[in-house]
Structure 1
Amino acid sequence: MFGIAESRGRGRARQTALTFAAVTILAAVTGCGALDPGASKASTDGRDPEKPQLTVSILPTTDLAPFWLAKDSGYFKDEGLDVESVIAASGQASLAKAISGEADISFSTYPPFFTASSTGAADMLLVADATSVNPKSNAIVAAPNSPVKTIYDLAGKKIAMTAKNTASDLLTRSVMQDHNVDYSTVKWVQIPLPNIAAALQQGQADAAYLPEPYITQAAQTVGAIPVIDINSGATQDFPLTGYGATRKWVRENPKSLAAFQRAMQRATHDAINDRARVEPLLVRFAKIDEDTAKLLTLPGYGSILDSRRLQRVPDLLLQLGAIEKPIDVNSMIAPQTRR
């Protein structure tokens, strides 16, 4: 009797001990969430941005469609980011905002990033791709009354561009060089993109480099005619625009950067696969009308940086004398995070 009772007592004690141990383990596993109702998955998966509020300097072009899509569809918000934008007059001006700290990330054509690095003006890293040249997305155009009718008429003429050593300058020179046209005789006229069509009409420039939507707008307002498509020769499928930040910012904000990259990858995928989502954003943010949004040619959108592809940019800069020594693109690419 005593043996049986003792055995049963030991069994109940063992069961009680096991139950207590299980409860203890469960509490250890879930205790943080139970004791702190504010705890969430975001705070335990290592994704909390160091700086949730970001400012991005941009240009009002069709290249920004994925960025606007990420803002409008809440993709940045999904990553814990509150992203605002400031408009710059040119790629160089956009870059300057990141260098000064007015912006965290800057959007620009690629040349200013490399020229800034080459001259020591700034230590910039590329953080995300944006666009490449597509057929008819970038062109040299002229008004109907211009003396420029073909690529061979550009020598010695006034050509409008946004700033020296930007895509508008370098890609124009590259195309002229492909056709053995002497660009050293050109008189370069620096004009902001929104004002170029009027400058062509008034004779302030004989021709101009334009991206979309300005090609379509200039055709509608002043009858501008494409002289040559930039998507040819050495500049075919050329890497055109991207996003950059200072090396210091990248080093101090790795989670914020990764969150920005993931949101942009998601938005870029959607922009590539659904033009219907892009056109209304161009009307709202690029300030173009619905007919223009339907007619214009979109650039080639991208988000992940490819060093082999991007190497074409500093190589062209070196060839045209815009930088004095070679640049290895790998040294300027920030860590890439994939969704």
Structure 2
Amino acid sequence: MAALALLLAGCGDGGGSGSTGSGGLTEITVAALPLTDSAALYLARDRGLFKKEGLSVRIQPVQQSIQALPALSKGQVDVIASANYVTFLQAHEKGTLDLRILAEGVRTAPHMMDVLVPRDSGVKSVADLAGKKVAVNILNNIQSLTLNAILDRQGVGRPVYRQIAFPQMGPALERNQVDAVHAVEPFDSALQGQLKARVLLDGATAPVRSLPISGYVTTRKFATGHAKAAAAFRRAIEAASKIAATDPSAVRAELPMYTKVTAEQAKTIRLPSYPATADAAQLRRLTELMRKQGLLQKDTDPATLLVK
């Protein structure tokens, strides 16, 4: 809540809504998490891709994408980067957000997120997770969705999830408040390095390989009311995503600039997949999985949510 208060204070009445600033640039306010998911956003900023499109982009850091959802609904934030699709698809279905997807963020790749346990933990196998306490960043979201799918495929009983923000997962594991944590990069590598946490399970294994998990989301009001700015933003992100996909070293160089990852740590972090363009068919894999697990009550066609 403190992070949200800071976000809203930073936006003020003048932030958001594609306002026109000096030099005729269109100003866009973007809330973003300090994750590898947001790499294209920072690459687009630092390589002048937004400027090339005539945009001035202000980035507001948040610890959970859900914190920025009220600000997005009110137009105080124009776009949320690294937005966990599950949260926003649920909000759209409930009518609390008229969602539009500007661009894809990332898809799962091997070990970009892992289930970690203390090195001396009695949890030795995936089967041992049944009934155990596992920390996730947000309840009933992409982490539990993907882990449930993996466990169901392997015939393993489900754990009990506890909501703990990524930065607090290490202390929770050290204090034995949970039995395991489901961490994403860069927190994944940090926990392995600092706590010597052991990888119990690759969180991106079958059946959730290459699954879209986050993106750049906005509202229908912004996408239609500021169509040129929305299209320009999408082009810049897609250009940056192409750089991220073809040159991982560019991402590794960027990470220390907006996360707590050091340049040395960035060399070994497992990166997600950065798709150049949004794919409705791939997004449908996600919505069908959500429907199967009861996180969506109705069938959703992602193609209707993509901003062209």
Q: Give TM-score, length-normalised by structure 2.
A: 0.88
1:254 aligns with 2:227: yes
1:262-289 per-position Cα deviation (integer Å, ceiling 9, x unaligned): 1112111112222332222101111211
Q: How many pairs were matched up? A: 285
Contact kept in structure 1, 2:101 and 2:307, CA below 8 Å: yes
Instruction: Determine which of 71, 89, 95 is the counterpart of 1:97.
Output: 71
Instruction: Determine which of 135, 146, 166 is the counterpart of 2:141.
Output: 166
Give the equivalent residue in structure 2 for 1:224.
197
The one-letter code sitting in structure 1 at the alignment partner of 2:230 is L
1:112 aligns with 2:87: yes
Instruction: Determine which of 99, 112, 116 is the counterpart of 1:141.
Output: 116
Q: Percent identity?
A: 29
Give the number of the structure whose residues are more often helix, by fraction. 1
Instruction: Determine which of 272, 278, 282 is the counterpart of 2:255.
Output: 282
Instruction: Determine which of 174, 178, 185 is the counterpart of 1:205.
Output: 178
- Structure 1 runs of 4+ aligned residues shifted over 6 Å read none
SS of structure 2 residue aligned to 1:311: helix
Separation (CA, whole Å) in 1 of partners of 2:32 and 2:140: 18
- 1:222 shift after superposition: 0.6
Counterparts in 2 of 1:100 and 1:146: CA distance versus 1, 3 Å: farther
The structure having more radius of gyration, on CA atoms, is 1
Separation (CA, whole Å) in 1 of partners of 2:130 and 2:59: 39
1:292 aligns with 2:265: yes
Contact kept in structure 2, 1:130 and 1:303, CA below 8 Å: no
Separation (CA, whole Å) in 1 of partners of 2:207 and 2:67: 27
Separation (CA, whole Å) in 2 of partners of 1:316 and 1:206: 26
Q: Aligned-residue CA RMSD in angstroms?
A: 1.6
Give the equivalent residue in structure 2 for 1:30.
none
- 1:88 shift after superposition: 2.0
The one-letter code sitting in structure 2 at the alignment partner of 1:61 is L
Q: What is the correspondence of 1:1-339 to structure 2 with a 5 Å cutoff?
A: 52-107=26-81, 108-183=83-158, 186-335=159-308
- 1:242 shift after superposition: 0.4
- 1:100 shift after superposition: 2.6
Contact kept in structure 2, 1:133 and 1:238, CA below 8 Å: yes
For structure 2, the residue ranges without an aligned partner over 5 or more in a row are: 1-22
Separation (CA, whole Å) in 1 of partners of 2:152 and 2:256: 36
Contact kept in structure 1, 2:73 and 2:97, CA below 8 Å: yes
The one-letter code sitting in structure 2 at the alignment partner of 1:90 is Q
Separation (CA, whole Å) in 2 of partners of 1:197 and 1:170: 22
SS of structure 2 residue aligned to 1:302: coil
For structure 1, the residue ranges without an aligned partner over 5 or more in a row are: 1-48
The one-letter code sitting in structure 1 at the alignment partner of 2:93 is S
The one-letter code sitting in structure 2 at the alignment partner of 1:92 is I
SS of structure 2 residue aligned to 1:313: helix
Separation (CA, whole Å) in 2 of partners of 1:96 and 1:131: 23
Counterparts in 2 of 1:241 and 1:50: CA distance versus 1, 3 Å: farther
Give the equivalent residue in structure 2 for 1:8.
none
Contact kept in structure 1, 2:102 and 2:307, CA below 8 Å: yes
Contact kept in structure 2, 1:57 and 1:97, CA below 8 Å: no
The one-letter code sitting in structure 1 at the alignment partner of 2:152 is Q
